[in-house]
Chains A and B, each alone.
Chain A
Amino acid sequence: MFRKLYKQANESVTDQALKNKVLSCQRKKVSFKPFYATALVAFAVFALVLNINVFKPSQNTDIETASYSARRMMPVQESAENLIQYTGVLPYADIDGIEIIRLDISDGISVYLLSGQTENSAELIKKAELTMKNIDLTVPEFEINHNNTTLKASDILNNLSTVVTDMPHILKYDIPFTYVLYDNETKSIIE
């Protein structure tokens, strides 16, 4: 009885996708490991010859490392507008200590929350605040869906701390942050 049940149970254990992958690899005679080993040795020699520091963070598509790349290249003194343009499509970026979070809203409008911890960032925040003061808070009307809750513009502006509650990057510095409304079509801050 046990033997029969255990055999039947094992008949259900299969993985067609993995099987196809293995079959496909053997057809192509793919030898990944020797390839990677050769490539690694070649790269190590190349790095040694050219004295490349291979231990610095890689610049891949990961958001954190992308922001690292941005931080290295971004001039410290920049307008909020340029900063946002540089941030591009990233939902989160850290540029010279200024953390930027993009919340997409309707009609090509985004809300950018900016934070900072250095003097330079403080200056930049001030610039953003000056820009912000000129924004008519009632226009444009927008809503965003955050944590399954639809928030209107006024809600967001009055309760920014609630909106970013689950964004530890910006909260860990425990400093005030500000926001700008940004028109993605005209690539400019809405004033």
Chain B
Amino acid sequence: MLTNNAYAIEKYFDMVLRLALARTGDKHHADDVVQEVFYRFVKKERNFESEEHLKAWLIKVTINCSKNVFLNDFFKNTLPLTEEITFENPEEGEVYYTVMSLPAKYRTVIHLFYYEDMPIKDISNLLNLKESTVKSQLHRAREMLKEKLKEDIEIV
């Protein structure tokens, strides 16, 4: 039973921020989402059965909160993520901003699949999509990335 809020924030803050960025494509919106997620987390004072349960809950809430950002008409007209994150390796920056340039639904599956190493079944459960839909979104996202990225970056 995990009840230590500070522990969870320390451990999963970056995960939530990165997923929120992948979902919203905007640092300011991502900051709002992160605060909302942890606000809900602290407010509810839930007891999670396991580490996986906690992680899945945070990912699910991050996805839902990111959706809420775009429900408001005011936020529908957003600017794409400008190059405000610095990367030591230029290739990393190229990969990151290329992913960020994809439509939101493709960014999300790419992030969950390649960064969180989640199986397609889990992604489909989290996003409430059919497994076949997730597969096709992944396929389309990879095709887009192949077009945009250098040929020497292999996408598997």
Q: Which of B38, B89, B149, B152 contacts A26 (CB 8 A)?
A: B38
A5 CA / B35 CA spacing, docked (Å): 28
Are B91 and A5 closer than 8 Å at their CB atoms? yes
- Indicate if B80 sits at the interface (CB-CB under 8 A): no
Q: Is B34 an interface residue (CB 8 A)?
A: yes
* Interchain CB contact (< 8 A) of A18 among B5, B18, B34, B99: B34
Q: Is B39 an interface residue (CB 8 A)?
A: yes
Which A residues from 1 to 39 make CB contacts under 8 A with B? Answer: 1-3, 5-10, 12-15, 18-19, 21-23, 25-27, 29, 31-33
Give residues of chain B (27-55) contacting chain A, Cβ–Cβ below 8 Å.
31, 34-35, 38-39, 42-43
Contacts of A23 in B (CB 8 A): 6, 9-10
**Which of A5, A8, A26, A32 is B153 in contact with, Cβ under 8 Å?**
A5
Could you say which interface size class chain A belongs to? 20 to 34
Q: With A and B bound together, what is the CA distance between A5 and B43 in angstroms?
A: 36
Question: Which residues in B have their C-beta under 8 angstroms from that of A10?
Answer: 18, 96, 111, 115
* Residue pair A22, B87 in contact (C-beta under 8 Å): no
Q: Are B42 and A26 within 8 A (Cβ)?
A: yes
* Min C-beta distance of B30 to chain A, whole Å: 9
Rounded to whole angstroms, the CA-CA distance of A14 and B35 in the bound complex is: 14
Main secondary structure of the interface of A (DSSP, over half): helix
Cross-chain contact of A22 among B9, B91, B111, B154 (Cβ < 8 A): B9
- Are A18 and B31 in contact, with the CB atoms below 8 A? yes
Report chain B residues within 8 Å CB of A21: 35
Give 1 or 0 for each of A32-58: 1 = CB within 8 Å of chain B CB: 110000000000000000000000000
Question: How many residues of B sit at the interface, in one of the four size bands?
Answer: 35 or more
Residue of A nearest to B38 (CB): A22
Q: How far is the CB of B151 from chain A (nearest CB, A)?
A: 11
Nearest to A12 among chain B residues (CB) is B87
B6 touches A27 (CB 8 A): yes
Q: Is residue B13 within 8 Å, beta carbon to beta carbon, of the partner chain?
A: yes
Cα–Cα, bound, A26→B156 (Å): 40
**Nearest CB to that of A5 among chain B residues?**
B95
Q: Does B1 contact A (CB under 8 A)?
A: no
What residues on B are CB-neighbors of A9 within 8 Å? 87, 92-93, 95-96
Kindly provide the distance from the CB of A14 to the nearest chain B CB, expressed in whole angstroms: 5
Interface residues of B, Cβ cutoff 8 Å to A: 5-6, 9-10, 13-14, 17-18, 21, 31, 34-35, 38-39, 42-43, 85-89, 91-93, 95-96, 99, 110-111, 114-115, 145, 149, 152-156
A-B CB contact pairs (8 Å), 12 listed = A1-B154, A2-B149, A8-B89, A9-B93, A12-B85, A12-B87, A13-B21, A14-B14, A18-B13, A22-B13, A23-B9, A26-B5
A contact residues vs B (CB 8 Å cutoff): 1-3, 5-10, 12-15, 18-19, 21-23, 25-27, 29, 31-33
With A22-B34, A22-B38 known, 19 other A-B pairs at CB within 8 A are A1-B153, A1-B154, A2-B156, A3-B114, A6-B92, A6-B96, A7-B115, A8-B89, A10-B111, A12-B85, A13-B17, A13-B21, A13-B85, A18-B34, A19-B10, A19-B13, A22-B9, A26-B38, A26-B42
